[in-house]
Amino acid sequence: MPARLLPGTGVRVRRGSRRDLPQLRVVLGAPATDRLERFYRRILDDLGMDVYVAEDPEGAIVGVVSLAYRRSLVRGGVSAFLDGVRAREAPAVLEGLVAFAEERARRRGCNRLAACVETADAELRAALVARGYRVGELLTTDLATDGPGAD
């Protein structure tokens, strides 16, 4: 899919690649470790995931959106999960990335897009509610691991 401009911004969105990893770490606020680097590379190579970056006109990554796709036995069909959205720019970039994720999920044939929003992420929560997302019940627990990408 070729890069495209987010409406109302000078930011373009394109598929993320390995060369984006150093800038992605900055946007995500993640440390530079070999283990995390391998984990991010696996995500970028995973056919069940889409990772798109938002670039300003100078080529700096100012946002990222990640989607995971899964077949559902109970719901039937394919569902998308908004894995994460981060933007360092104006709210228009965050809102544009959410709209982009919805369009992407539709193009992949999904009949549902769900999002898990961290309690502290009021900006993303507000953007989703403004777009018609409903608060439902999602039960979660943290499982003990050695960190991201633990095998």
Asked if the structure places residue 140 within a domain, the reply is no
Asked if the structure places residue 104 within a domain, the reply is yes
Number of domains comprising the chain: 1
- pLDDT (tens digit per residue) in 12-39: 999 999 999 989 888 888 888 888 888 8
* 75: CATH: 3.40.630.30
Residue 149 confidence (pLDDT): 56
pTM to 2 decimals?
0.85
Asked if the structure places residue 149 within a domain, the reply is no
Q: Containing domain of residue 68, as a range?
A: 4-130
- pLDDT (tens digit per residue) in 101-125: 999 999 999 988 999 888 888 999 9
Asked if the structure places residue 113 within a domain, the reply is yes
Asked if the structure places residue 148 within a domain, the reply is no
Asked if the structure places residue 136 within a domain, the reply is no
Asked if the structure places residue 81 within a domain, the reply is yes
Asked if the structure places residue 138 within a domain, the reply is no
DSSP E strands, the chain: 4-5, 12-15, 49-55, 61-71, 78-87, 110-115
